[in-house]
């Protein structure tokens, strides 16, 4: 027993030496040969070989025979799909003994191994990845004792790690060689890329402008240059620079003569830092006309629906005189659903009126007082939903706008914040104060919540008519998809701005910039 223990200890020591030696070899072929040679020197086997896995096939990398470690041709490629016993052993990371009774024996027995010999297949596995297998052939059954097999399995684990390192080194070395070639061509590519970029910009049908953080033009394509050199160039440049005032991606419709341009501004980032803005202008004059025709249709249908809804509400009032608790509950449900339909009709009519070019009825009023009124109207809904509602008016401001339309904007945003925030969340309405946008005084208002947020893919479309975000549909939150479209239309008519910052599961933040003084001339589409 002491002798066996001493032998096992000695083998473990030698295996440790092999492991430390193997770590220093970064060539896969050399590593396989050196390890196979040392296994032959330590263990009583006739042949030691290493096969590495390549796309479901074991391929020989080194096969050495005792004594002396002379090179053998090794085994042919072993397709694991044709050798289920070996495939299963590798998948389960367990050693496998093959002998004359094994169905795969004739396929793997080397010519130098007796017919009554045996073969041990020991998986090479690291971090759940099978790298290959160690093959040991002996002249008879019992070539390896259980203790020796344990030692070899430890060695196999060390060898697998070394193979991973060698593979990574090989990949890095190959990449370095490629990189040397690529770096030589990179300078030329950069020059060619610059020329291609300019060629692409020249071929883009839409006007494209690139501005720095100060709003100075850095690059324009020919379509944009033609616009800027036209009669509306100065006005267009001024409106484009206003797009830089808001955070994140912004979109605004610009009236240029008889045409309507949709301006989409996106930040240009480098190393996580904004270095400028790219603005793409798209002529949507035809689309606006189609929208007008659609709005006319919606208005007609809405008026047709309003009459039966009025009758329904009238008869609800009459039927409410009936007695019975169950009947009253039915009426409550019908009344609530009717109110919902009525709100949808009002949304449709609002969109229609706004698109028809209804002018805002301007008046001077206290924005702080309006926010206080809106907050008071929505507190019961917050209480019912157990939401923490906070109104903060940092500095009251007088603005000149259509009070009913601004009321609608803030009501829509606050109603959305309440609707999309689960119980226990927070909703905040804040009048931040004055801020300069495009060289003019604006009142900054923030509506913020800790609700479900807006998915990144939905962000470009949230102001589209009838658009419902994926998270709203997922949480089955009712709505017409018109609330934010109305907000956008009203703000466009007031030359106001809005920006959105949102993240799914962390809430949304809508920031508005409302002009304190309206321009004396305004063009309405």
Residue 520: the pLDDT is: 42
Q: What is the pLDDT of residues 348-373, one digit of tens each?
A: 778 778 877 778 899 999 999 999 99
- If residue 434 lies in a helix (H) or strand (E), which one and from where to where? strand 426-437
Q: What is the pLDDT of residues 305-345, one digit of tens each?
A: 665 677 667 667 666 666 655 566 656 666 766 777 777 77
Greater confidence (239 vs 444) lies with: 444
Say yes or no to pLDDT of 392 above 80: yes
Greater confidence (167 vs 412) lies with: 412
Query: Mean pLDDT in the chain?
Result: 83
Do residues 99 and 141 lie in contact, with contact meaning Cβ atoms separated by under 8 Å?
A: yes
The gap from C-alpha 328 to its chain's centroid, in whole angstroms, comes to 48
- DSSP code of 232? T
Say yes or no to pLDDT of 4 above 70: no
Task: Determine the Cα–Cα distance for residues 283 and 502; give it in Å rounded to an integer.
Answer: 29
Task: Determine the Cα–Cα distance for residues 502 and 497; give it in Å rounded to an integer.
Answer: 17
Residue 363: the pLDDT is: 92
Task: Determine the Cα–Cα distance for residues 348 and 362; give it in Å rounded to an integer.
Answer: 23
Percent of the chain with pLDDT over 70: 84
* 3-class state of residue 280 by DSSP: strand
Confidence of residue 175 (pLDDT cuts 50, 70, 90): confident
Say yes or no to pLDDT of 227 above 50: yes
Percent of the chain with pLDDT over 90: 29
- DSSP code of 456? G
Question: Within 24-57, where are the H helices?
Answer: 28-42
Say yes or no to pLDDT of 235 above 60: yes
Task: Determine the Cα–Cα distance for residues 349 and 357; give it in Å rounded to an integer.
Answer: 13
Confidence of residue 523 (pLDDT cuts 50, 70, 90): very low
Q: What is the pLDDT of residues 259-268, one digit of tens each?
A: 888 888 888 8
Q: Over range 89-101, report the average pLDDT.
A: 91
- Residue 361: which residues within 8 A CB-CB, separation 6 or more? 402, 404
Do residues 440 and 462 lie in contact, with contact meaning Cβ atoms separated by under 8 Å?
A: no
Residue whose tokens read 């803030």: 410
> What pairs with residue 63 in β-bridges?
49
Q: What is the pLDDT of residues 280-306, one digit of tens each?
A: 888 888 888 777 657 755 664 565 566
Do residues 390 and 428 lie in contact, with contact meaning Cβ atoms separated by under 8 Å?
A: yes
Q: Please state, as a whole number, how many other Cβ atoms lie within 10 Å of the Cβ of residue 207.
A: 24
Task: Determine the Cα–Cα distance for residues 173 and 228; give it in Å rounded to an integer.
Answer: 53
Task: Determine the Cα–Cα distance for residues 352 and 356; give it in Å rounded to an integer.
Answer: 6
Confidence of residue 444 (pLDDT cuts 50, 70, 90): very high
**C-alpha Rg value of the chain to the nearest Å:** 38
pTM of the model: 0.43
Task: Determine the Cα–Cα distance for residues 96 and 58; give it in Å rounded to an integer.
Answer: 15
* 3-class state of residue 357 by DSSP: coil
Confidence of residue 232 (pLDDT cuts 50, 70, 90): confident
Q: What is the pLDDT of residues 114-171, one digit of tens each?
A: 888 899 999 999 888 899 999 999 888 777 888 888 888 888 888 888 888 888 888 8
Q: Over range 430-455, report the average pLDDT.
A: 92
Say yes or no to pLDDT of 487 above 90: yes
Q: Please state, as a whole number, how many other Cβ atoms lie within 10 Å of the Cβ of residue 372.
A: 16
Task: Determine the Cα–Cα distance for residues 362 and 398; give it in Å rounded to an integer.
Answer: 12
Residue 525: the pLDDT is: 38
């Amino acid at each position: 027993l002491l002798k066996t223990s001493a032998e096992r200890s000695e083998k473990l020591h030698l295996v440790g030496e092999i492991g430390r030696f193997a770590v220093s070899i970064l060539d896969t072929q050399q590593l396989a040969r050196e390890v196979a040679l040392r296994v032959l020197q330590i263990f009583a086997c006739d042949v030691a070989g290493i096969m590495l896995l390549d796309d479901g096939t074991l391929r020989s990398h080194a096969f050495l025979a005792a004594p002396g470690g002379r090179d053998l041709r090794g085994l042919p490629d072993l397709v694991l799909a044709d050798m289920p016993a070996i495939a299963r052993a590798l998948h389960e990371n367990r050693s496998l003994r093959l002998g004359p009774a094994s169905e795969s024996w004739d396929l793997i027995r080397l010519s130098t191994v007796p017919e009554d010999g045996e073969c041990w297949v020991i998986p090479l596995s690291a971090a759940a990845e099978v790298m290959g297998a160690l093959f040991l052939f002996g002249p008879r059954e019992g070539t390896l004792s259980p203790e020796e097999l344990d030692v070899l399995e430890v060695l196999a684990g060390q060898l697998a790690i070394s193979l991973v390192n060698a593979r990574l080194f090989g990949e890095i070395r190959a990449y370095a060689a490629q990189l040397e070639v690529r770096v030589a061509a990179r300078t030329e590519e950069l020059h060619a890329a610059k020329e291609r970029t300019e060629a692409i910009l020249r071929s883009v049908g839409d006007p494209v402008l690139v501005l720095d953080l100060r709003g100075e033009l850095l690059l324009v394509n020919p379509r944009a240059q033609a616009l800027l050199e036209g009669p509306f160039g100065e006005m267009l440049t001024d409106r484009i620079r206003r797009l830089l005032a808001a955070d994140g991606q912004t979109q605004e419709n610009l009236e240029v003569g008889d045409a309507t341009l949709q301006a989409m501004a996106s930040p240009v980032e480098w190393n996580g830092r904004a270095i400028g803005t790219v603005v793409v202008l798209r002529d949507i004059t035809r689309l606006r006309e189609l929208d007008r025709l659609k709005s006319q249709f919606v208005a007609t249908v809405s008026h047709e629906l309003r009459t039966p809804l009025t009758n329904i509400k009238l008869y609800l009032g009459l039927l409410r005189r009936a007695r019975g608790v169950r009947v009253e509950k039915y009426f409550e449900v019908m009344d609530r659903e009717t109110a919902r339909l009525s709100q949808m009709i009002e949304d449709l009519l609002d969109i229609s009126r706004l698109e028809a070019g209804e002018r805002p009825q301007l008046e001077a009023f206290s924005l702080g007082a309006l926010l206080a009124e809106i907050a008071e109207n929505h507190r019961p809904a917050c209480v019912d939903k157990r939401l923490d509602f906070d109104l903060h008016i940092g500095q009251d401001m007088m603005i000149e706008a259509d009070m009913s339309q601004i009321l609608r904007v803030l009501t829509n945003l606050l109603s959305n914040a309440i609707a999309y925030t689960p119980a226990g969340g927070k909703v905040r309405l804040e009048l931040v104060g004055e801020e300069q946008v495009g060289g003019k005084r604006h009142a900054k208002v923030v509506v913020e919540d800790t609700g479900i947020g807006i998915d990144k893919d939905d962000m470009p479309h949230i102001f589209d008519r009838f658009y419902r975000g994926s998270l709203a549909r997922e949480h089955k939150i009712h709505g017409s998809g018109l609330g934010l479209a109305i907000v956008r239309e009203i703000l466009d008519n007031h030359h106001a701005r809005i920006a959105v910052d949102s993240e799914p599961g962390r809430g949304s933040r809508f920031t508005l910039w409302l002009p304190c003084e309206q321009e004396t001339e305004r063009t309405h589409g």
